[in-house]
Amino acid sequence: MQLGVVGLGRMGGNIVQRLQQHGHSCVVYDRNAEAVTALTKKGASGSGGLKDLAAKLTAPRAIWLMLPAGEATEGAVTELRGVLQSGDIVIDGGNSFYKDDVRRARSLKEKGINYVDAGTSGGVWGLDRGYCLMIGGDKKVVDHLDPIFSALAPGLGNIERTAGRDSRDPRPERGYMHCGPCGAGHFVKMIHNGIEYGMMQAYAEGFAILKGATAEARPADERYDLDVADIAEVWRRGSVISSWLLDLTAIALAADPKLEQFSGVVADSGEGRWTVMAAIEEAVPATVLSAALYARFRSRDDHGFADRLLSAMRKGFGGHIEAKGS
């Protein structure tokens, strides 16, 4: 299948390569011409802009946007609205606000252009591991794109299959799901990221307590000089709290036990805030997720070991680089 891909950063470039490994052809564009050149050397077709990219695709055209949420994505969707024709498809694979999806889908539908939102999890590891995809859009359009989603998803892998799923949609256990109409995919991804905030904060606080076990405030015979790198490693082996985030934590601590390369200033990219907003709209208590978001705000004024560990995890799964402290 042919796909246009716009935005060739940490994830976009890997998405192109994974699709090509599965036999799909890609026409690519990025404002950074070097990123385009790098992928043309790996078999993709380059383009000089959105109009040029659209012209190189065969109708009905499908274009995947892998851009930062907000102005960049908004501008690309607006430009494509003036370039594409009825029956074409715009896929937003970034972390857009789901309410923006609903509005954009409505605007594109006026011209007969289809819109699909694809919440994409997998970070910089997706090329090898595959991407977990949470998809929103019209069923007919999503089904048409199934070869793309199937190629990007992890597949069954070696995870034990869940009992009782024999009569259910097989796609979720292969790592991708049609969640509902436009906006539903990014809504599910938004909550996914809100949960991610909470899990990361729990690990960060727990390891900070372990790190502080030598504190003078503790009785002398209850002070423990603990090897947090080894604790992370042993918890990976059969523990009930094992996870990919813990894997990344173990990698970071093995390389730099004091996490001195990290400042402890922890960014938030929007989804945590939107999750809390949704909780308020629904009157759903979300104490852990809210506290995790506020902890990131607090990290920008006062940061310690827990905050540096959060930075380490963000670098591990998403390649996010935060400035080293002075």
Out of 56, 140, 196, 322, which one is annotated catalytic? 196
Strand, helix or coil for residue 92 = strand
Q: Which one is catalytic: 41, 42, 173, 189?
A: 189
140 is catalytic: no
Nearest Cα residue to 181 out of 260, 227, 116, 133:
116
Backbone phi and psi for residue 77, each to the nearest 5 degrees, phi listed first: -65, -40
Q: What is the DSSP letter of 325?
A: P
Pairing verdict, β 132-136 and 114-121: antiparallel
Contact 46, 36 (CB under 8 A): yes
Across the strands, what pairs with 115? 90
Residue 258 is among the residues annotated as catalytic for this protein:
no
Helix (H, G, I), strand (E, B) or coil at 263: coil
Please say whether the beta carbons of 279 and 289 come within 8 A: yes
276-301 per-residue burial string, b: 16 or more CB within 10 A, e: under 16: bebbeeeeeebeebbebbebbeebee
What distances in angstroms separate CA 264 from CA 3, 27, 32, one per listed residue? 39, 39, 30
Q: Tokens in use for 135?
A: 């998809």
CA distances to 32, 263, 266 from 291, in Å: 38, 21, 14
**DSSP structure string for 66-79:** ---TTHHHHHHHHH
Q: Which residue blocks in 6-162 are alpha helix, DSSP H?
A: 12-21, 33-40, 50-55, 71-81, 98-109, 126-129, 139-144, 146-152
At 46, is the secondary structure helix, strand, or coil? Answer: strand
Active-site positions read: 189, 196
